[in-house]
């Protein structure tokens, strides 16, 4: 799936007239459909990865940072951050990595699908506690149209253990892209454009008006087609480099998908190796335990046999002593009887 959104450092004033923050979309009376929401987050995930790869620092991802335009999404890296989108390790003051952004984007995806705030509280301490301990429900519990596949991606992204999350937003984007491809979602932004026109007509109409400005007026330079001219306009007004024809980005998108697949394969290989190592350690521990139990059983059996032998020998000795005593008594009685008989005869 090719995308037209680019990551860039934008000024909030320039962005607001031609795009809408995802925060506003989440709070809008009418929902953006689930697949279009998936497209927005998918492009945001790719843009975050590109920004990181290009050396641009990305603060905590939040809906305010993600700008939805007619041609795709843009990142407003100047947007204020919010504690409610911090990953657990960041709340605990630990160093983060790309998986930290996966968690933050997972919170954004959950809220965009559920149209609810996930981690809320009366104060910062309450929000931190929610991030660390709250049992996160599936977004489908709030929005029955959310498919199980999206629930699974949200669950993985929001794992409190970084090792259980996607290794990067690039891999997360690849999983979201698979859902879009399987659902047959169009590669264009037509559905998103229709939604913006209906829910936020002022900003979209302004963009359309500016797009109609003749070439040479200083607004934009002529592009090869009307759609590319509009896309270049949005990117220029947003303070970003002009966007290329999407067809030219196919190779880059294919390369990104290949990199995501390779990273996913590496993560799966590492997980498989860890599982194999854990199994080997468990098998070794079980074998050692069995050997100890066998040795203990053999020792107990030997001690029992020795005790039984000692008891038998003692019983035999006591029996022999009793028989000897009985024989001696009988002999003494016989001798006494014979003596008495002899005395009587005399």
Predicted local confidence at residue 62, as pLDDT? 93
pLDDT along the chain (346 residues), means of 10: 38 49 91 94 94 76 90 84 93 91 96 94 95 96 96 97 95 96 90 89 48 35 33 34 40 64 76 84 89 90 91 90 91 89 86
User: Could you tell me if residue 272 is inside a domain?
Assistant: no
pLDDT value of position 18: 63
Strands (E), 65-129: 66-68, 73-76
pLDDT at 255: 64
What's the pLDDT score for residue 218?
34
Q: According to the model, what pLDDT value does residue 204 have?
A: 46
Indicate whether 76 belongs to any domain.
yes
User: Does some domain include residue 22?
Assistant: yes
Q: What is the pLDDT of residue 304?
A: 92
What's the Cα-to-Cα distance from 318 to each of 306, 326, 331, rounded to whole Å?
18, 12, 20
- Is residue 240 a part of any domain in this protein? yes
Residue 52 lies in a domain: yes
**What pLDDT sits at residue 254?**
64
CB distance 48 to 101 below 8 Å: yes
Domain membership of residue 269 (yes or no) is no
| CATH code assigned at 185 | 1.10.510.10
Cα separations in angstroms, 184 against 39, 132, 160, 189, 303: 12, 37, 32, 13, 74
pLDDT of residue 206: 43
Closest Cα to residue 230, out of 216, 243, 248? Answer: 243
Distance from C-alpha of 281 to C-alpha of 294, rounded to nearest angstrom: 20
This prediction has a pTM of: 0.58
List helix spans (H) across 212-249.
226-237
Beta strand ranges found along 196-319 (DSSP E): none
Q: Within 13 Å, how many C-alpha atoms sit on residue 336's CB side?
A: 6
In a domain, 267, yes or no: no
Its domain, for residue 27, covers 6-244
Residue 34 counted as domain residue: yes
User: How many folded domains does the chain comprise?
Assistant: 1
């Amino acid at each position: 799936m090719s995308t037209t959104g680019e990551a860039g450092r934008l000024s909030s004033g320039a962005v607001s007239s031609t795009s809408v923050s995802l925060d506003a979309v989440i709070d809008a009376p009418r929902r953006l459909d689930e697949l279009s929401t998936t497209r927005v987050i998918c492009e945001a995930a790719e843009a975050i990865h590109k920004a990181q790869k290009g050396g641009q620092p990305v603060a905590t991802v939040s809906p305010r940072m993600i700008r939805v335009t007619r041609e795709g999404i843009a990142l407003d890296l100047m947007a204020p951050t919010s504690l409610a989108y911090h990953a657990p390790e960041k709340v605990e003051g630990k160093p983060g990595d790309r998986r930290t952004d996966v968690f933050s984007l997972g919170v954004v995806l959950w809220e965009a699908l559920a149209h609810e705030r996930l981690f809320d509280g009366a104060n910062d301490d309450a929000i931190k506690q929610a991030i660390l301990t709250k049992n996160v429900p599936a977004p489908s519990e709030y929005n029955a149209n959310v498919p199980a596949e999206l629930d699974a991606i949200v669950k993985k992204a929001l794992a409190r253990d970084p090792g259980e999350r996607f290794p990067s937003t690039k891999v997360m984007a690849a999983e979201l892209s698979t859902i879009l491809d399987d659902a047959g979602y169009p590669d264009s932004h037509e559905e998103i454009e229709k939604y913006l026109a209906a829910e936020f007509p002022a900003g979209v109409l302004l963009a359309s008006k500016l797009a109609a400005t003749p070439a040479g007026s200083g607004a934009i330079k002529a592009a090869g087609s009307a759609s590319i001219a509009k896309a270049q306009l949005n990117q220029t007004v947003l303070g970003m480099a002009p966007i290329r024809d999407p067809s030219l980005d196919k190779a880059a998108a294919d390369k990104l998908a290949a990199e995501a697949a390779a990273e996913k394969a590496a993560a799966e290989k590492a997980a498989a190796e860890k599982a194999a190592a854990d199994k080997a350690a468990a098998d070794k521990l079980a074998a050692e335990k069995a050997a100890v139990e066998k040795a203990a059983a053999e020792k107990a059996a030997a001690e029992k046999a020795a005790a039984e032998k000692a008891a038998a020998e003692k019983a035999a000795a006591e029996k022999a002593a009793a028989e000897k005593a009985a024989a001696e008594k009988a002999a003494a009685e016989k001798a006494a009887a014979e003596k008495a008989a002899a005395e009587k005869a005399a």
